[in-house]
Structure 1
Amino acid sequence: MKILAIASAGGHWVQLLRLKPAFEGHELIYASTKKSFADTVKGYEFYDIPDASRWNKVKLFYSLVCVLKLIYTVKPNIIITTGAAPGLMGIIAGKIIGAKTVWIDSIANVENLSMSGKIAAAIADKSYTQWPDLSNSKVTFSGNVL
């Protein structure tokens, strides 16, 4: 099983790294918005992708194009992300190629799902929250990663 784990910098990346033991025995590939993060996943294939946010539509579209290109190149069976916008781009691109997709909303989202998390809940194969009060028919609570 080939798994692409994708997240933007900061807490999203930290939470994604904490999931690494769950993927033992599978081919794991990482992608993030900081080239220097390759040092945190030595021994694994790593790709840097452009960061984006909803505030800059041009960069958001560029990020989608770059992530689509990455996913067409890597051809993962599963895409998992802890967010934010580049992770959502991964979910969208994954659905296009038929990969299974998993969204894990950040633990920082205590009162509401993130905007990306709300979108991902509508399209990802599995969507998780790290807070029981935020679970619903589309978003599952199964614990947290921090």
Structure 2
Amino acid sequence: MKIAAISSGGGHWIELQRIAPAFEDHDVFYISTHKNLGDTVQGRKFYTIPDASRWNKLKLLLVAFEVMKLMIFNRPDIVISTGAAPGVFGILAGKMLGAKTIWLDSIANVEHISLSGKLALHIADRVYTQWPSLADKNIIYAGNVL
């Protein structure tokens, strides 16, 4: 089973690393926005993409292109993301290529699901929250990772 694990840096990356033991026996490759994060996944393929947010629409297009290119090149069976924008593009690209997709919304989103999570709700096979109060028929609560 080939797994693409994708997130932006910071807290999203920390949460992705907290769930990484769940797929350590699989062929995993990582995608993130900071080159130095590759040091935390030694022995695994790691790809760096540009960092972008909704405030820089042109750069978001570049991120989308880079993520799609990596997904086509690697052909994952499963795509998992903890956010933010790069994760949405990873989920979308994975879905287009026939992969199963999982979104884990950040624990920082206490009162409502993130904007990226709202987008992922329309694409991902499974969407998880880390807060029981945010669970509903489309969003699964199964605990938190921190």
Q: TM-score, normalised by structure 2?
A: 0.98
Cα deviation code 1:100-126 (max 9, x no counterpart)? 110000000000100000110111000
Q: 3-state DSSP class of the match of 1:123? A: coil
Aligned length: 146
What amino acid is aligned across from residue 143 of structure 1 in structure 2?
G
How big is the alpha-carbon RMSD for the aligned residues of Structure 1 and Structure 2? 0.7
Equivalent residue, structure 1, for 2:35: 35
> What are the residue-to-residue correspondences of 1:77-116 with 2, within 5 Å?
77-116=77-116
- d(CA) in 2 for partners of 1:137 and 1:119? 16
What amino acid is aligned across from residue 78 of structure 1 in structure 2?
I
> What are the residue-to-residue correspondences of 1:1-146 with 2, within 5 Å?
1-146=1-146
- d(CA) in 2 for partners of 1:104 and 1:51? 19
Are the counterparts in 2 of residues 83 and 106 from structure 1 also a CA contact under 8 Å? yes
- d(CA) in 2 for partners of 1:14 and 1:86? 15
- d(CA) in 1 for partners of 2:102 and 2:15? 14
5+ residue gaps, structure 2: none
What amino acid is aligned across from residue 45 of structure 2 in structure 1?
E
Percent identity (aligned): 58
Q: 3-state DSSP class of the match of 2:47? A: strand
Are the counterparts in 2 of residues 2 and 27 from structure 1 also a CA contact under 8 Å? yes
Are the counterparts in 2 of residues 122 and 138 from structure 1 also a CA contact under 8 Å? no
Cα deviation code 1:68-92 (max 9, x no counterpart)? 0000001000000000000111011
What amino acid is aligned across from residue 47 of structure 2 in structure 1?
Y
Cα deviation code 1:38-92 (max 9, x no counterpart)? 1111111100111111111111111101100000001000000000000111011
